[in-house]
Structure formats: C-alpha cells, structure tokens
Structure 1
Amino acid sequence: MLRTTTRTAAVAVAALLAVSGCASSQPARLDPTLDADEHSLLAEPEATPEATFEAPDDEHAVVGELAEDFPPDLVPLPSDAQILVSSAEPDGDDGTTTLSLNLRTSLAADELMADLREALTKAGFTEAPVATPPTGVAAESTFARESGEVLTVAVLDRDGVRTLTLGGRVVVP
C-alpha cells in the first residue's frame, strides 16, 4: 500500500510540476523577439483604395471618382471625400438610375448626414432614420420620394474616419 501511495504521490507531483511549468498569466508569444505591438494577429493592414478595391467588372462603375452618370447635385460630397467606388447605371426607359457610392471622409457622422439630409429633402425626399443602427454604424437612414425613388445611407465610424455607403434608385434628369 505504501508503494502505491508513494507512486501516486510521485505521479501527482510530476503532473503538478509539468502543469505549473506550462501555465502563465502572460499571453503566448509566437516570436519572442518581437514586442506585443509589433506582432499582433488582430492587427489590420492600412486600407487604401488601390489595395481594397479593384476596378469593377462593370461598365457603369469606377474606382476613385464619381461614375459618369452619377448626380453630384443630388448627393453632395464632403470637401475631403476620398471616393472609393461609385456607379450609376441607367435602368431603362423609365429614367431611373441605380446608384452606388462608397467614400471616406473625416467629417463627423452627424455633419455628413446633415449635409445629405439637407440636399435630399430639398430634392423632395423624405427621411426615415433608423432609430438604432447596427453595432459599428454611426448613422443610417432611408430617403424616399413619392415617385418610388429610394436611397439608403449608412455611415461607419472607425478610428476617426467615416465611411459612407449610399445606394438606391433615383430619376436622374
């Protein structure tokens, strides 16, 4: 019995030493020569329009500027707007155009939405803001006219930069 108890105790001590040697309150390091700030699995590369967006496979879409038929009078752009991608595709004989716009700006989300709201309501649109936008979205609204035209706008606020996404169908004169 003493041998069994001694053997059990020895195994327990060995297991305890092995486990305590592996346990640490410090995070695991993949490369001990790098500081935590230099080596992060969660770090995202800085996005640039060239790296993020390729030329769309669509004759109506362009990267880095407004598409040919995009109505700049209807959708005002912030002075520092960095257009990521835009498109304006005429839908046919009814005069409607499907619009899409993605841009970045340093303008605050509420100012960006106020400028859009002013321009779109002057053009006869009525706003239906989303009371509680999804997590990460600073503002979201839908603008509609009685003619059936609809534009949806969302603003993502991240690291001091706003990304505006706008899309919908409108009549372009």
Structure 2
Amino acid sequence: MASSSELPTWYYRVSAAVKKRNGVILWDFDEDISDLDEINPDETTTYNGPNAADYHRLREKREERKRELFQRKEDARGDEKNKVGQVRAAYEALEISVSRSQSTQLSPIDSQFDLHCMDYFDCFYDPSPHGYQRRYVRFEHENRDEAHSGNVTGRFWLNPKVDFELVPFKAPKCSSLEHKEIYTTDGRFSMIL
C-alpha cells in the first residue's frame, strides 16, 4: 500500500479519466476493484496532501461502487443457490420416482438445459455486466428430419474458452438414474449425464 503521502494507483487512473470527461462514472472504478469481499480501512483515509478533497470524493465514489458490485454479486449468488436447490429437488423427486419403479416416458430432449453450480460461481463470478454468463448443455436431433430416430448431438458451454460439441448419442427413452458418458467431438473430454 502507498504511504500516507502517496495516493493509490487507482486514484491517478480514475482522476485522469474524470478530468478528461469532466465527471465521474461509477464503472470507471471497475478496472481495479477485485477485492469486493475485502475491506481495506488503511487505504489512505487520513490523506491531507495535495488534491485531498478530490481524492476523498473519488474514494467515497469507489467505495459506493464496491458496495453496489458486492450487492450485485450477492444477489446473483442467491439466484444461483436457488437454481441449484431447484435442480436438487427435481433430482430427489426422480430418485423417489425410480425407487417406486415409476419410470416416466421422456419427451424428446431437443432442448437447452442451464447448468448451475455454487463452486463454479464462487471461482468464476465476474461482476462486469456481461462477464458472468449462463452455462448450459443443449441437445438437438442429429438429423432434424428424423426427430424420432433417437440420435441426439449437443453442445456444452461454460464460457467462451470452454465450448464443446458433443458426439452424437442415443437419447434415453425413459427416466432413470443411470449415468451415460458422452464425449466431445475432439475426443479431449467426456462428461457424465
């Protein structure tokens, strides 16, 4: 951290942007706010050197932005936790159904399914407006003219760097707890469904 006579680097970057545009925009602070969960009380709160008033005004705006981004993250985390709970409840209902030997005929799985995971959220959440995107697996009939042939292909998408096409496979006809291993078309990965 900077000494009490020296300002943090974010101040110089943001101050230049504010002077150039003649106003503060809260997302000016986003570039160097990576510590949403941390509170740093030492950050030159007693600075009284040149530009002190400007520094303290920008510091308060930065703290406001941190609070806003933290709240956005907590809201998104709550939404993700809710979705994980819904998926878990559906899986538990399937387990009960299967334990009672109540197998359900499945409709064609020509659909997209969103993927939810708290561990993934905690590791990869990005507060930027388009940073944290929906993850999904999408299934399509291999040949659209033969929707009832049962062969399905798919796409597994977590983020722009983790985007794979799946090898065609035979879609299940009835609900079950049986796992199926499906490979990516490049053969590098497999997933268990």
- Shorter-chain TM range is under 0.3
The structure whose residues are more often strand, as a share, is 1
The structure whose residues are more often helix, as a share, is 2
Bigger Cα Rg: 1
TM superposition score normalised by structure 2: 0.25
